[in-house]
A and B are shown apart, each in its own frame.
Chain A
Amino acid sequence: MLGKGLKRKLSDYEENMADLSSAFDSSRNLPYPLKRQLVLNMCLTKLQTYKMLVEPNLHRSVLIANTVRQIQEEMRQESSQQPINVCNGIASHSLSYPGIDSPGISLHLPSGSNQPESNCCSSWSGEGPIENSLLMVSDDDMSSAISSILKDLDFMEDISPPSCLAPAGDEPKLPENACLKPEVRQDLKGAECVFGSFEISNSTSYLKDLAIDDIFEDIDTSMYDSDFCSAPLMASRTPPTATEETLKTFPSCNSSSTTNIQICRPDLSELDHIMEILVGS
C-alpha cells in the first residue's frame, strides 16, 4: 500500500483492490492475462462508480473507456486466434462486481479447458486468492458499460445535432449484466454494433436475472428477515390457496432454471413461514 496519507477505515473491497494493485506493481511473476484482467476490473468498477455520480468527470471517463477498449481489442485479437475460447466461461450462479458484497467467486470452467497453448487457462486452473477475486466479463458488458457512460455524459442543452442512436430504454445496471448466460462468449460483433445501446428487449436473461426483491420493493417485508432458508421448495408441499396466489406473482419461480431456484428459495421459505403464522399452525 503506497503512502501514509490520512488514516481511514478501508472497506473490505478497497483493501482488496489496494492489495491487488500492489501485487500488480510488485510482482513480476503475475501472468499477463491476470494483470490485464485486474486492470480491466478496476476500469469497469471505476466507470460504474462514475455512472452513479451526478456529474461524472468527462476527462477521466474517456481515459478509462479508452483503456477498456484497448484491452478489449487485445482480448479480441487473442481470441480470434484461438478457436475455443475457454477463458470466458462464466459460473452458473450469479456473479457480482467486487464492489458489491460477494462472498467469494469461484470460476467453473467448462470441461476440456486444459489447452496447453492457452496461457490464460493454466493460470486460471488454480483457485488462488487473486483468481478468486477476479471476474470474467463478456465483451458486450464492457461495450455497453462504456457506451452508457459516454451517452450519459452527453449533457443536454447542446444545440449540436442529437446522436442518432439512444433507444428509450434505460440500461440495466452493470451487476445485472454480469449475471449472464452460462454459454461460451458470444461471437464478436463489429465495432459499430458494439457501441450500440444495450436494449432490454434483446436480453433474454433480463427477467431471470432481476432479483425478486426489486419487483416488490414497496411491500414491507421487514418482518420476514430471513433466518429460515432451510425450508424445502414450495412446490413439494401442499400449498394453501393463498400461497398459491402469492406464488403466481413470482413468475420466475416456475421456471426450471437452477439460477432462479436459488434466488427463489430463501423467499419461498419466508413465505412458508408467513403462511404458517397466518394459518396459525
Chain B
Amino acid sequence: MGLALAACSMPQASLWDLHLAPQEQENKTQSLSRGEYNVYSTFQSHEPEFDYLKSLEIEEKINKIRWLPQKNAAQFLLSTNDKTIKLWKISERDKRPEGYNLKEEDGRYRDPSTVTTLRVPVFRPMDLMVEASPRRIFANAHTYHINSISINSDYETYLSADDLRINLWHLEITDRSFNIVDIKPANMEELTEVITAAEFHPNSCNTFVYSSSKGTIRLCDMRASALCDRHSKLFEEPEDPSNRSFFSEIISSISDVKFSHSGRYMMTRDYLSVKIWDLNMENRPVETYQVHEYLRSKLCSLYENDCIFDKFECCWNGSDSVVMTGSYNNFFRMFDRNTKRDITLEASRENNKPRTVLKPRKVCASGKRKKDEISVDSLDFNKKILHTAWHPKENIIAVATTNNLYIFQDKVN
C-alpha cells in the first residue's frame, strides 16, 4: 500500500506525521501487519503569542488539522490554534545533486584555476528528509476561539468557525476573509447559543452546516445571500421528556459534525450519543447510537468535575458503513450501521500487545458485574479519547489518547 500519513498535535504543539515503518527483507506481503510506526516528521506549527491589546496569551495549542487533497508530490495541511490558521507544505527530499563544477561537496567555491574538466551533476539518493514550510498565514480574523476549519470541495476556499462567527477564506489570499455567519447578538447579555462545529458539504461547494450548543444543526447555502444568517434547513430533534434533567441542555450541545463521504448523511456527536441525519429529513435523526448511556445517571458528578464539557469527535469509515467515536477510560466505540452491532475497544499499551487482536470491552452499568466487565465507578475519567480518525480508503484508524497516538488496522490474513 502507499504512503499513509496521519497528523496529530501533541500538547507541545508539534505536528507529527506517521509513516508506515519500512519492512526489511521479511514477508513483503505482510507489510501492513508489523504494527509499529515510525515518526515521519515533527514540526512546530504555532508558537505561543501575546495579544498586547487585550493582555491575553494565545496558546500554541492546535485545535484542528485538515489535510488538503493531494495535487502533486507535496502534501498540504491546514492547522489552527485559537486565533490563527496556517497552511503548511510538507515535502520530501530523498535525492540530492552531486558533482557540481564550481562548488565542492560542502558548498565552498572551488578555485577556478583548479577546474580542468566539466561534468554533469547527478542525483544520488540520500536519507529521507521531510521539510515542512509555512505557506500561508491567515490571521486576525477571529475575535473568539476557532473551533473548526473545513476545506471546500472546490479546493480553493475553506471556512473557519469560532464561537460566534464563520469566515470564508481563499487559500491564496491571507489578508481578507468573508464573514458568512454571525450569530453575535447586539447585546451580549442576550447570548444563549454558540457555534460548536462547522463543515463544508463534500460535494456541493455552496453548502455547509454548523452545529450549536443547543443541539441544532443549520444547513446554509452560500448562493442564497452573502451573509448566511438564515438557514436553509434546521435539524433538531425534539427532546425526550422522560430524559429531562438539569443538564439536558448541556449534554445536547453538539461537539462534532461530519458529513458522510457520500454527502447524503451527516453525523453529530453530543455528550452521550452519536446521531446520523438524512439531509432530507430535518425533524429527527435516522439513527441514534448510545455511546455511554451509563453516564446518564452520573451527570451531576461529571458536571462538577467539568467532564460534561468534553468535546468528543466522531468519524466515518471510507464506505460510510461504520462510525467511530471516543469515550472515557481510553475506550472507543464503533457502530456498524448495517448490522447494528457495536463494539467497545481500548487503546492502551498495558492491555494490548502489538500484533494482537484487540479484545472487546464491556462496561457494567449496574447490578452484578460479570467477569471482564468494568464497572462505571472504576472508569478513569482522565483518560479520554477525544480525537479519532479513519483512513478514507483502508481499514486503518488512528486513536489519540492524552499522550499517545494509536494506529490500528484490520488483521491481514
CA distance A1 to B305 in the complex (A): 10
Q: Which residue of B lies closest to A55 (CB)?
A: B56
Which one of B55, B57, B304, B328 has the greatest number of beta carbons of chain A within 10 Å?
Answer: B304
Task: Confirm or deny: B379 has a beta carbon within 8 angstroms of a beta carbon on chain A.
Answer: yes
Q: Which of B280-288, B292-300, B340-348, B351-359 contacts A (4 or more CB under 8 A)?
A: B292-300
Which one of A2, A58, A146 has the greatest number of beta carbons of chain B within 10 Å?
Answer: A2
Apart from A2-B381, A54-B57, A63-B253: 12 A-B pairs, beta carbons within 8 A:
A3-B328, A24-B300, A39-B300, A58-B145, A63-B249, A66-B249, A67-B250, A153-B188, A157-B54, A158-B184, A163-B187, A164-B187
Task: Confirm or deny: B313 has a beta carbon within 8 angstroms of a beta carbon on chain A.
Answer: no
Residues of B within 8 A of A3 (CB): 305, 328, 377-382
Task: Confirm or deny: A275 has a beta carbon within 8 angstroms of a beta carbon on chain B.
Answer: no
Task: Confirm or deny: A108 has a beta carbon within 8 angstroms of a beta carbon on chain B.
Answer: no
B188 in contact with A18 (CB, 8 Å):
no
Task: Confirm or deny: A189 has a beta carbon within 8 angstroms of a beta carbon on chain B.
Answer: no
CA distance A226 to B303 in the complex (A): 39
Task: Confirm or deny: B186 has a beta carbon within 8 angstroms of a beta carbon on chain A.
Answer: yes
Given contact pairs A54-B56, A67-B250, A161 touches B213 in the complex (Cβ within 8 A): no
CA distance A35 to B299 in the complex (A): 12
Task: Confirm or deny: B143 has a beta carbon within 8 angstroms of a beta carbon on chain A.
Answer: yes
B203 to chain A, nearest CB (A): 30
Q: Which residue of A lies closest to B192 (CB)?
A: A66
Given contact pairs A59-B163, A63-B213, A161-B186, A25 touches B299 in the complex (Cβ within 8 A): yes
What would be 14 A-B contacts, judged by CB atoms less than 8 Å apart? A3-B378, A18-B304, A24-B300, A25-B298, A35-B246, A58-B163, A59-B213, A62-B194, A63-B253, A67-B246, A157-B143, A160-B182, A163-B188, A195-B189
Task: Confirm or deny: A150 has a beta carbon within 8 angstroms of a beta carbon on chain B.
Answer: yes
Interface positions, chain A 62-78, Cβ under 8 Å from B, are 62-67, 69-71
A169 to chain B, nearest CB (A): 16
Task: Confirm or deny: A247 has a beta carbon within 8 angstroms of a beta carbon on chain B.
Answer: no
Q: Inter-chain contact count A-B, CB under 8 Å?
A: 125
Given contact pairs A54-B55, A62-B191, A71 touches B186 in the complex (Cβ within 8 A): no
Per the CB 8 Å criterion, the residue count for chain A at the interface is: 48
Task: Confirm or deny: A36 has a beta carbon within 8 angstroms of a beta carbon on chain B.
Answer: yes
B269 to chain A, nearest CB (A): 15
Task: Confirm or deny: B196 has a beta carbon within 8 angstroms of a beta carbon on chain A.
Answer: yes
A156 to chain B, nearest CB (A): 6
Q: Which residue of B lies closest to A197 (CB)?
A: B189
Residues of A within 8 A of B303 (CB): 21, 39, 42
Task: Confirm or deny: B126 has a beta carbon within 8 angstroms of a beta carbon on chain A.
Answer: no
Residues of A within 8 A of B196 (CB): 59
B189 in contact with A151 (CB, 8 Å):
yes
A99 to chain B, nearest CB (A): 13
A70 in contact with B378 (CB, 8 Å):
no
